[in-house]
A = this chain, B = another copy of it.
Amino acid sequence: MKIAILPGDGIGTEIVAEAVKVLNVLDLPFEMETALVGGAAYEAHGHPLPDSTLNLAKAADAVLFGAVGDWKYDKLERSLRPEQAILGLRKNLGLFANFRPAICYEQLTHASSLKPELVAGLDILIIRELTGDIYFGQPRGRRIAVDGHFPGAEEAFDTMRYSRPEIERIAHVAFKAARLRDKRVTSVDKANVLETFQLWKDVVTEVGKEYPDVALDHMYVDNAAMQLVKAPKKFDVMVTGNMFGDILSDAAAMLTGSIGMLPSASLNANNQGLYEPSHGSAPDIAGQGIANPLATILSAAMMLRYSLNQAQAADRIESAVSAVLSAGYRTVDIASEGTTRVGTREMGDAVVAAL
């Protein structure tokens, strides 16, 4: 079981170290190799995703990823900015299926900005298509407009696109995931305005016929954003495109109040996957030893389950995290009165102890 360890920037190094510590306790035959990515790789090699890092990731069964990005790279040209590393990994590894759970842990219900009764027990799975849509669609660029409101003016443009098989495969992922849960899929589109999402809706509907045991409904993206705020518990599995998924999955994660707890998985057709916390690189608190490592530790659990076929070890980690929360250990982002404040390393140690 080959794992590429890519800590990245900001708090990335600190939180990934704790996840590695947890993996090491499991006594499974992992081969781990570490490489630079993002701003750290740019500093060392002049590129956020050097070939050596990409090749390591390609050769691995799974990638454990920390986070990338820092304000200090904002002035670089886009192709050299840290975020390009994550886009490059998604594209080159074909990681089309992004799993973003939005779970509200019983012990952390109070941390949500929503009223407790609206989020207690919340458990949504957002499935975001990750290699298509306007993120990668060609053509794109700048040019002089030949039509539109201001012909002759400078304009910039991007292309949104989805093909039938791209939609089919992510729809299958969503329906299969729903079968292991509450058997309900909400497909989010903007079919009333976009050609791309009319095809999306048509194809998801067709694929849904193969899953008569799963209830399918369709929702416009603006309405989905409203319903997430109003009554998030109504959702089970939500499936959508890359751009809408970017927005909705972050909104849903923040609704839980504990984004520092939320893992994610990005898989390709062979179940090779990249696993990373849902939160970012938080350069403002990097190096202080206070970041919450649990989202990364839970990402390692997802890795065991989805890419490494070690469901039992994944269960053990998840139970250990739950035990640590119940014991009252909290990093600053999820702290509340009457709990025990710990740093990044102590939180990792607590999970190891619980294992």
Residues of A in contact with B (beta carbons under 8 Å apart): 78, 81, 83, 87, 113-115, 118, 131-132, 134-138, 140-142, 145, 147-150, 153-166, 190, 192-200, 221-223, 225-226, 228-231, 243-244, 246-248, 250-251, 253-255, 259
Contact = CB atoms under 8 A, between A and B. Distances in A.
Nearest to A231: B113
B149 A166 contact: yes
B134 A149 contact: no
A113 B228 CA distance: 10
A142 B195 contact: yes
Nearest to A139: B159
Given A221-B246, A222-B246, A153 B165 contact: yes
A198 B78 CA distance: 9
Contacts of A118: 113
A160 B157 contact: yes
Contacts of A159: 157-160
Contact of A254 (B147, B190, B229): B229
A78 B114 contact: no
5 contacts: A148-B161, A148-B163, A155-B164, A156-B200, A226-B259
Contacts of A157: 137, 159-162, 195-196
Each complex incorporates copies of this chain amounting to: 2
B250 A226 contact: yes
Nearest to A144: B163
Given A83-B192, A229-B229, 12 more contacts: A78-B198, A113-B114, A131-B149, A134-B160, A134-B194, A145-B161, A149-B166, A150-B165, A150-B166, A159-B159, A225-B225, A225-B251
Given A193-B135, A229-B255, A160 B163 contact: no
A155 B199 contact: yes
A254 B226 CA distance: 6
